[in-house]
Amino acid sequence: MTTLADPHTESFRPSMLLNDTRYRSLTFQFIALVAIIAAMAFIGGNLVRNLTEAGLNISYDFLGAQAGYDINQRPISYDSQDTHGRAAMVGLLNTLIVAFLACVTATIIGVLAGVLRLSPNWLVRKIMSFYVEIFRNVPVLIWILIIFSIMINAAPAPRDFRGDDPSASMWLFDTIAVTNRGVYLPKPVWGSGSLLVVGVFIASIIGIFMYRRYARKQLYDHGRLVPTFWPSVALFFVPVILAQLVMGSPISLEYPELKGFNFRGGVTILGSLIALWFALAIYTGAFIAENVRAGILAVSAGQTEAAAALGLRPGRIMNLVVLPQALRVIIPPLISQYLNITKNSSLAIAVGYMDLTGTLGGITLLQTGRAIESVLLLMLFYLIISLSISFIMNIYNNTMKLQER
């Protein structure tokens, strides 16, 4: 009989910290930790020493001090008497506004261009490749500057609307003014009873969703194709217009009018916002187009053929078969394009749009001289925006993922 002896338990020896794979990684990490602390000591020590020598200190008190400068686009109320902190918030909101607008527009442009790049029409295909290549291969900063120049020089100045025989006129029955300072739109004025109209509007939106669900249920359960497009359009417009008429037009529009130097009244969309918005959207749209094209090509040709064999028309094939499958390939790179838009929006400085970089990282930094604090805060803000976007988009991505069985 042989008894199974216990394996010889090695006692711990210092050399095992190096030679034994069980302990070695701990050793490495410990050394890394010490190295990190040493690096921090080095950098921090220098910082303190340099600041003392220059007679400066680190303080965020300047955020509470009066800013003293004006900002042209104010999503929240702000004037030159407010604090630098509030100016930074205005800048942050402006960054979010332009990033959101550009993301939406870039997606639309990108999907359109991506689909059209695969169009059977030779001319369209070539134009779209030209668009994609020329925008992908030239720096975004140059594009922003060029598009800004185009907008300034191509759109009429407010002075062109003046006089008896103006060289420019407003659009859509004198309701919209397109100038090189921005676009002036009519602004709704909420009279009494407008709440009801809004209520009707919301109800009709809910109605559209209900109707679409009903239509889908009909399709799945009974195989009946209920038309959805025209009824939806009707549901969208008719009840609201009826309510508006019945209530005696509680919602009226305030039209922009040329008064003094500028158009007054209505809603203004600043020229710098438009230039940055379009520059970012068109630039990023070219990248998204490539992602979309790659996504569509990734769907195997068999899918398209099978759908065609079922008798679906090309539009339906794209909408019902190809795009839903392509979406899974498209979304991950789309997330990083959205992040790129947000980050590239910091180039607003080149067109004078007062975003976060223009306020906190621009005028505030200059006026207070608090370079370190401002740049650190700036990076923190962008980091928070980026991380939230990728967090939200990743959740969306996970819901879109193929449910593998």
Partner 1 sequence: MKKSVFLGALTVAGIVAGGASAATLDEVKARGKLNCGVTTGVPGFAEPDAQGVWQGFDVAVCRAVAAAVLGDGNAVEFVPTTGKTRFTALASGEIDLLARNTTWTLSRDVDLKFEFIGVNYYDGQGFMVPKELGVASAKDLDGATVCIQTGTTTELNLADFFRANGITYEPVPIETGAEAVQQFIAGACDVYTTDASALAAQRANFEDPSAYVLLPEIISKEPLAPLVRHGDNEWADIARWTLNSLIAAEELGVTSVNLEELSAGTENPEINRLLGTEGDLGAMLGLDKDWAKRAIGVAGNYGEIFEKNIGASTPIGLARGLNAQWTDGGLIYAPPFR
Partner 2 sequence: MSDTHAQSVAFVRETEIPPSPPPVAQAGAVKWVRENLFSGVFNTVLTLIALYVVARLAIAVFPWFYNGVWEAESIRDCRDQLDGATGACFAVLVDRWDHLLFGFKYPQDGYWRILLAFVLLMAAAAPALFQKLPRKMLLFTALYPFLAYWLIWGGSLWMPVTLLALVIATGLVFQLVARQISVDMRKIVSGVIGVICGVGLTYLLFIGAQELVFIAGSVGTEGIVSSVAYGLFWLMAIFTFALCVPMGIFVGYAIFNSYEDGGLVSVVTALLFIYVALTYLLGPIWMALNGVFPIELQEVASRDMGGFMLNMILGTVCVSLSIPLGILLALGRQSSMPLIKGVCVVFIEFIRGVPLITLLFVANVMLAYFLPPESNFDLILRVIIMITMFSAAYIAEVIRGGLAALPKGQYEAADSLGLDYTQATRLIILPQALKISIPGIVNVAVGLFKDTTLVSIISMFDLVGMIRGPIQNSTEWISVYWEVYGFGALLFFVVCYSISQYSQWLERQLNTSHR
64 contributes a contact to partner 1 by CB under 8 A: no
Question: According to CB under 8 A, which residues from 333 to 362 bind partner 2?
Answer: 339, 343-344, 346-347, 349-350, 357, 361
Binding part of the chain for partner 2, among 12-20, 68-76, 231-239, 263-271 by CB under 8 A, reads 12-20
Out of 178, 317, 354, 377, which residue is the one contacting partner 1 (CB under 8 A)? 354
145 contributes a contact to partner 2 by CB under 8 A: yes
Residue 145 CB partners (closer than 8 Å, separation 6+): 350, 351
Out of 6, 10, 53, 404, which residue is the one contacting partner 2 (CB under 8 A)? 53
How many Cα atoms within 13 Å fall on the side-chain side of residue 1? 1
110 contributes a contact to partner 1 by CB under 8 A: no
163 contributes a contact to partner 2 by CB under 8 A: no
166 contributes a contact to partner 1 by CB under 8 A: no
Question: According to CB under 8 A, which residues from 277 to 296 bind partner 1?
Answer: none
141 contributes a contact to partner 2 by CB under 8 A: yes
42 contributes a contact to partner 1 by CB under 8 A: yes
Per-residue mark of binding to partner 2, 238-277 (x: CB under 8 A): ----------------------------------------
169 contributes a contact to partner 1 by CB under 8 A: no
379 contributes a contact to partner 1 by CB under 8 A: no
Nearer to partner 2, 43 or 320 (CB): 43
206 contributes a contact to partner 2 by CB under 8 A: no
Nearer to partner 2, 267 or 380 (CB): 380
Binding part of the chain for partner 1, among 26-34, 66-74, 92-100, 244-252 by CB under 8 A, reads 66-74
Out of 57, 80, 121, 169, which residue is the one contacting partner 1 (CB under 8 A)? 80
| Residue 268 bridge partners (DSSP) | 184
Q: Which partner, partner 2, partner 1, none, binds residue 375 by CB below 5 to 8 Å per kind? A: partner 2
The Cα–Cα gap between 45 and 373 comes to: 17
Nearer to partner 2, 51 or 267 (CB): 51
76: number of Cβ within 10 Å: 9
Q: Which two tokens stand for residue 370?
A: 């608090």
CA-CA-CA-CA dihedral for 288, 289, 293, 294, to nearest 10: -30
Per-residue mark of binding to partner 2, 110-129 (x: CB under 8 A): ------x--xxxxxx--x--
Nearer to partner 1, 170 or 363 (CB): 363
Which residues make up the interface to partner 2 (CB under 8 A)?
14-15, 17-19, 25, 27-29, 31-34, 36-38, 40-53, 116, 119-124, 127, 133-134, 136-143, 145-146, 149, 339, 343-344, 346-347, 349-350, 357, 361, 365, 371-372, 375, 378-379, 382-383, 386-387
Which residues make up the interface to partner 1 (CB under 8 A)?
42, 53-56, 68-72, 80, 149, 152-153, 157-160, 180-181, 259-262, 264, 271-272, 349-350, 352, 354, 358, 362-363, 365-367, 369, 371
